Amino acid sequence: MNRKLTYAFIYVFLTISAFVSVFPFYWMIVGSTNKSVDVNKGKLTFGNQFLENFYKLSENFDLGQVIWNSIQVSLCVVVFSLIVSSMAGYGFEMFKSRGRDFTYATVLLTMMIPFAALMVPVFRLMTFLNLIDSLWGVILPMIPSVFLIFFFRQNFQQYPKEIIMAARVDGASEPRIFFSIIMPSMKATYAAAAIYAFLTSWNAYLQPLVIIQSQKNRTMALFIANLASGYQPDFGLVMMAVVIATLPTLILFFALQRYFVQGVLGSVKQ
């Protein structure tokens, strides 16, 4: 009887947790099919305003430019962040030096600094580089990722050192070892890191808010925030914009889901 009660409690708990996790997505999709007044009333059934909301959103706003801005930022951050972070993690793991562990610990400590404390220095740096109100002003500060450096180093700890030593004996240079041997054999790790980098850059709000000052360079996060602000926002349009902003992340995650699970498991397995 105690075992049955335990399993019943577990199933009830998991059912409630699954409902709580899925409900925001359901509410988002339902809201995109209703009028703003219905969303305010908390209507939980589908309406017939989906095409109307999409038409109003695309006609009244430059939605294509906003999406393209976010795609440019996210793709550049993913590509450069993977290269920089993986090379840093490879260096911390494969090259021994007296101050390596201290430097690595110092780098990890920077994760404790919130971006709010870095807003003014980042803004002044981008002003010095003349990158205010440009997409590169958003991209450059997001390329170095301490979490990804940690993530890659954890995976490099499991990489067979004999392969690297054999390549060095054969006369291969370190760049060739890294780009020709390491990267192709760690697709799962790079896929998991790519998902993390894409989600972080795609959903970034505070940093673009500090850097971007014009309407033409807005990202999706800023666009949705502007839609939701004001005296009487149209929540039907807001929900439609949220649905559109969610689609790229869902597509990327499901496309790389298998590699993502393998990469995450590989980073924690010791």
Domain 2-268 fold: MetI-like fold (1.10.3720)
Residue type, 55: Y
pLDDT for the residue numbered 262: 63
pLDDT for the residue numbered 85: 93
Contacts of 161 (CB under 8 A, 6+ apart): 94
Buried residues in 17-29 as b, exposed as e (16+ CB within 10 A): eeeeeeeeeebbb
Buried residues in 128-162 as b, exposed as e (16+ CB within 10 A): eeebeebbebbbbbbbebbebbbbbbbbbeebeee
pLDDT for the residue numbered 4: 80
pLDDT digit string (tens) for the chain, length 270 residues = 678 888 888 999 999 999 998 898 898 899 888 888 888 888 888 888 888 889 988 888 888 899 999 999 999 999 999 999 999 999 898 888 888 889 999 988 988 888 888 888 999 999 999 999 999 999 999 998 999 999 999 888 888 888 888 888 888 888 888 888 888 888 888 988 998 999 999 999 988 999 998 888 999 999 998 888 877 788 888 899 999 999 988 888 888 777 666 655 554 444
Q: What CA–CA distances, in Å, run from 116 to 70, 113, 132, 145, 204?
A: 22, 8, 18, 16, 13
Secondary structure class of 249 (helix, strand, coil): helix
Tens digits of residue pLDDT in 201-229: 999 998 899 999 888 899 999 999 888 88
Measured CA angle at 27 (ends 217, 206), to 5 deg = 30
Residue type, 255: A
pLDDT for the residue numbered 88: 92
pLDDT for the residue numbered 265: 58
Spatial distance between the Cα atoms of 201 and 138, rounded to a whole number of angstroms: 9
Q: What CA–CA distances, in Å, run from 93 to 85, 159, 179?
A: 12, 10, 16
Give the tokens for residue 221: 């996060």
pLDDT for the residue numbered 184: 86
Contacts of 208 (CB under 8 A, 6+ apart): 73, 138, 218, 219, 221, 222
Secondary structure class of 169 (helix, strand, coil): helix
DSSP 45: S
For residue 47, the tally of other CB atoms under 10 A from its CB is 17
Tens digits of residue pLDDT in 147-159: 999 999 988 888 8
Domain boundaries, the chain: 2-268
pLDDT for the residue numbered 268: 42
Spatial distance between the Cα atoms of 129 and 68, rounded to a whole number of angstroms: 24
Give the tokens for residue 218: 């807005």
Spatial distance between the Cα atoms of 46 and 63, rounded to a whole number of angstroms: 24
pLDDT for the residue numbered 139: 93
Spatial distance between the Cα atoms of 29 and 227, rounded to a whole number of angstroms: 17
Nearest residue to 78 (alpha-carbon basis) of 245, 231, 248: 248
